[in-house]
Chain A
Amino acid sequence: MMRLLTLLVAALLALPAAAEAQKPIKVGMPIPLSGPAALFGDPASKGAQMYVDELNAKGGVLGRKIELIIRDSKADANEAVRVARELILKENVDFLVGTLTSAEGPAVSVVAKENKIVFIAPIPKTDQLTAADKLHPYVFRVAATTTIEGRSTAEIVAKWPVTKIATIAFDYAYGQDVTKAFVDYIKKIKPSVEIVDQEWPKLGEQDYNPFINAMMAKKPEAIVSSIWGGFFVTFSKQAKALGVFEAVKFNFIGLGEAGSPETTKSMGADYPVGIWGNSYDAFYWDESSPVHREYTARISKYLKDEYPSSWAIQGYIGMQFLAEAIKKANSADSEKVSKALLGLTVDTPAGKLTIREKDHQANRGQLYGKTVKEAKYPFAIMKPVTYIDPTKFMD
């Protein structure tokens, strides 16, 4: 009788603990799901979701499943802040993984800091996110930075037979920082370069004609653009109509992932084949590792697309780092997880990435290449496509 009673009491006491263990780990993901940024944001969210689904199928982490709560931030810093705060206050998320634009990232980073919640940014590139004066224990980035992107680009452009270069970028943190990084570095490695023009349309511009005309009037020999996402689609349509790409003999590089499959796919025959671009991932990347090829097969199946998006990988990697850090810390407490993330190395589909302690930044580079039209695919691809290791560009 006593034994039965003790068993019962033990079971009852264990129940809340068991319930605790079953409670899912909630991760909030504010990311643009509408508008021109959705071209990148939507697949990123799906990449994150795939990782979560796969992990949960294996039992989750620390015996708990992960619940990913995705919300539309509309590529607007104000909205992202609001969404992030609601995720924290209303949904009680334990972690934040998300944001896309370099306006959203720093804004949400502040929210994460004040609420002491780990925030992993898989996409915003602006250096300001992890700059010394903005860094705090809870923000981490697994994306490239504007320094990495700008300098990688400078290395490529320095090899072109050009000296007169024009830049066009959105007038906000990302556009400003990546252009500056490019200009500063190329002037260092090729002093003969002259920046003949710089155009600064506002983020969200729909009519690039006046900017294009002003730029072409200075007769540049090469153009470095960081117009991204759906905006690049609009920009290049207008630029193509004005004969821009022919005028610079295709010495044009589209930063902000103009070489990504989703961009080339969505433009189809309108894509200015022959320009250079970059991308976080490419399903056609031949020299990739077995890990990558295996990932590509899985994401292709998950997205039901034989030519899967390149943005899924960033959402995937963001969640991967979070899960690995939770495992390493053996806890879902942000304090412990934030310490576990420092110096953490994860074998991601994009190679082994490490978050360095100095500025919570991972050594994430990107694929760069010149676009060509291959009969095999109904859209342009980058070939040859090279992964540029970012380590030498990171200060």
Chain B
Amino acid sequence: MAAHPSPHLFVPDLSFIFAQSLSGLTAAMFLFLIASGLSLIFGVLRVLNFAHGTFYMLGAYSAYQIVQWLGTGPVSFWVSALGAALAVALLGGLVERFLFQRLYGKEELYQLLFTYALVLILGDAAKLIWGTQQKSLSRPPGLSGAVSLLGATIPYYNLFIILLGPAIALGFWFALQRTRAGRLIRAAALDRETLGALGVNVNALYTGVFVLASFLGGLGGALITPMRAIVPGMDTDVIVEAFVVVVIGGLGSFWGTFLGALIYGQVLSFGILFFPRFSIFSIFALMAAVLIIRPWGLLGRPLR
């Protein structure tokens, strides 16, 4: 077996560091979109939704499908992305309302395994509908070029994603802080029984949270299509990444998820450079370290 020759001692220059951190940021923003939904569901429903990766995958496939129907016009990509996110949100709502709600009150393990059953069922449904060959989409016209910054080539689409991430984060944070729905969600995360006693329709709230989270996951999947392949198995790969992010940042903490995604992106990016064979290992070692030292994550709160 060939051993890998070690690279020459390499002093990175600024443009490389910049490029690498931007690619880490891009990956992080996608993960943030997905993981934020996961964190939201956990924060309010106290359930780790394995199927969240599958919603992400369905978002990607739906976006692909809508583009097939609409053709490649100037706005078709954006319409598809939005349409896909809405479709996945609807699916999430239906699943929660008619299936998942029946499992509330039962053991956590059953709820967890139910979400895994969804992974199996929905994953195969995607194979049935779209086949097993990988699919891909092009970047939308308008964002298909690149700009040269600090000596590095940065594609416009990557920049868009990097800016979109924080925009969505701020938007959601604002909504959680200022709107009534947001306040209810935060209250439900802290104390659902009291909330129910106060006359709030907690079940409808749960459905709403699930719909919102699925929207985010589906949007993440739709937006990643110009950069990655749409292929069976993308769901099981991404869900573990999302778990890492949410654990590092803090289960249930919104900004924790953002921070966790940032850290994940940079560790993976620079890991490739400094310890190439250990980059995968280091991600999970980081996850374990956080759980050992500070289980509720960097910005999370201990579960009551």
CB <8 Å contact, B146 and A243:
yes
Q: B12 in the interface, Cβ–Cβ < 8 Å? A: yes
Contact between B132 and A38 (Cβ–Cβ < 8 Å)? yes
Q: Which residues of the other chain, B, contact A211 by a CB distance below 8 angstroms?
A: 272
A interface, over-half SS: helix
Our pick among A36, A176, A234 for the contact of B1 (Cβ within 8 Å) is A176
Contact of B228 with A234 in the complex, beta carbons under 8 Å: yes
- Which residues of chain B (257-304) have a CB below 8 Å from chain A? 268-273, 276-277, 280
B273 and A210 contact, CB distance less than 8 A? yes
Q: Assess whether A242 is in contact with B273, with CB atoms less than 8 Å apart.
A: no
Q: How far, in Å, is A130 (CB) from chain B's closest CB?
A: 16
Q: Is the CB of A39 within 8 A of B273?
A: no
Number of residues of chain A lying within 8 A (CB) of chain B: 43
Q: How far is the CA of A211 from the CA of B13 in the complex (A)?
A: 16
Contact segment of B41-49, B77-85, B153-161, B204-212? B153-161
Counting chain A CB atoms within 10 Å of each CB, the highest count among B146, B152, B272 belongs to B272
Name which of B3-11, B109-117, B182-190 contacts chain A: B3-11
Pick from B152, B232, B271: contact of A34, CB below 8 A: B232
Please indicate which of the listed interface residues A38, A42, A207 has the most CB atoms of chain B within 10 Å of its own CB: A207
* A202 in contact (CB, < 8 A): yes
**Per-residue contact bits, chain B 145-179, to A (CB 8 Å; 1 contact, 0 not):** 01000001101011000000000000000000000
Contact status A206-B132, CB under 8 Å: no
Bound complex: CA of A373 vs CA of B10, how far in Å?
Answer: 38
For A202-214 the 0/1 string (1 means CB < 8 A from B) is: 1000110111011
Q: Is the CB of A242 within 8 A of B146?
A: yes
- Chain B: minimal CB distance from A380 (Å): 16
The chain B residue with its CB closest to the CB of A234 is B229
Q: Are A234 and B136 in contact, CB atoms less than 8 angstroms apart?
A: yes
Known contacts A200-B276, A210-B273, A214-B20; is-contact A35 B2 (Cβ 8 Å): no
Interface-facing stretch out of B23-31, B62-70, B191-199, B247-255: B23-31
Known: A35-B231, A234-B228, A241-B155. Contact between A217 and B16, CB under 8 A?
yes
Q: Does B134 contact A (CB under 8 A)?
A: yes
Which listed residue, A42, A206, A210, A216, touches B228 by the CB 8 Å rule? Answer: A206
Assembled-state Cα–Cα distance A313/B273 (Å): 40
B237 touches A206 (CB 8 A): yes
For residue B90, CB closer than 8 A to chain A, the reply is: no
Instruction: Decide: A217 and B23 in contact? CB cutoff 8 A.
Output: no
Q: Is A293 an interface residue (CB 8 A)?
A: no
Q: Are A210 and B5 in contact (CB under 8 A)?
A: no
- A92-115 at interface with B (beta carbon < 8 Å): none
Q: Mark B130-150, 1 if CB is under 8 A from A, else 0.
A: 001110101100000010000
For residue B122, CB closer than 8 A to chain A, the reply is no
Q: Does A237 contact B (CB under 8 A)?
A: yes
Contacts of A243 on B, CB cut-off 8 Å?
Answer: 146, 153
Which residues of chain B are within 8 angstroms of A200 by Cβ–Cβ distance?
Answer: 4, 276-277
**A42 B16 Cβ-Cβ under 8 A:** no
CA–CA, A118 and B269, complex, Å: 45
In the assembled complex, the CB of A359 is this many whole angstroms from the nearest CB of chain B, namely: 19
A173–B136 Cα distance when bound, in Å, is: 27
The answer on a CB contact under 8 Å between A238 and B127 is no
Contact of B273 among A38, A202, A209, A214 (CB under 8 A): A214
A34-B127, A39-B134, A209-B26 given; A237·B227 CB < 8 A: yes
Does B234 count as interface, using CB distance less than 8 angstroms? yes
With A39-B134, A233-B134: A217-B12 Cβ-Cβ less than 8 Å: yes
Given A176-B1, A180-B2, A197-B7; A36-B229 close (CB under 8 Å): yes
Does A213 lie within 8 Å of B20, measured CB to CB? yes
Neighbouring A residues of B152 by C-beta, 8 Å: 213
Number of chain B residues whose Cβ lies closer than 8 Å to a Cβ of chain A? 48
A38 touches which of B2, B23, B133 (Cβ 8 Å): B133
B71 on the A face (CB < 8 A): no
Q: How far is the CA of A198 from the CA of B229 in the complex (A)?
A: 24
Q: How far is the CA of A36 from the CA of B228 in the complex (A)?
A: 12
A270 contacts B27, C-beta separation under 8 Å: no
For residue A158, CB closer than 8 A to chain B, the reply is: no
Q: Does B118 count as interface, using CB distance less than 8 angstroms?
A: no
Residue picked from A196, A209, A218, A269, most chain B C-beta under 10 Å: A209
Q: How many angstroms from the CA of A38 to the CA of B229 in the assembled complex?
A: 13
| Alpha-carbon gap, A72 to B177, bound state (A) | 51
A residues within 8 A CB of B136? Answer: 233-234, 237, 266, 270
Assembled-state Cα–Cα distance A247/B148 (Å): 13
A344: interface (CB < 8 Å): no
Residue of A nearest to B5 (CB): A198
The answer for the CA separation of A131 and B270 in the assembled complex, in Å, is 37
Residue A177, interface by CB 8 Å: yes
Binary interface encoding of chain A residues 22-46 relative to chain B, with 1 for a CB under 8 A from any of its CBs, else 0: 0000000000011110110010000
Compute how far the CA of A270 lies from the CA of B20 in the bound complex, rounded to whole angstroms: 23
B95 within 8 A of A: no
- B19 sits at the interface (CB 8 A): yes
Known: A233-B136, A241-B158. Contact between A206 and B229, CB under 8 A? yes
Q: Are B10 and A218 in contact (CB under 8 A)?
A: yes
Apart from A210-B269, A234-B229, 10 more pairs, CB < 8 Å: A176-B1, A199-B276, A200-B4, A206-B237, A210-B23, A216-B19, A230-B231, A233-B229, A234-B134, A243-B153
Q: What are 29 sample pairs from A and B whose C-beta atoms fall under 8 A apart?
A: A34-B127, A34-B132, A34-B232, A35-B132, A35-B134, A39-B134, A179-B2, A195-B5, A198-B7, A199-B276, A200-B276, A206-B229, A207-B27, A207-B228, A209-B23, A209-B26, A210-B23, A210-B268, A210-B271, A210-B273, A213-B269, A217-B10, A217-B19, A230-B231, A233-B229, A237-B136, A241-B158, A242-B19, A243-B153
Nearest 8 A-B pairs (CB), nearest first? A34-B132, A209-B23, A217-B16, A241-B155, A243-B153, A210-B272, A176-B2, A230-B134
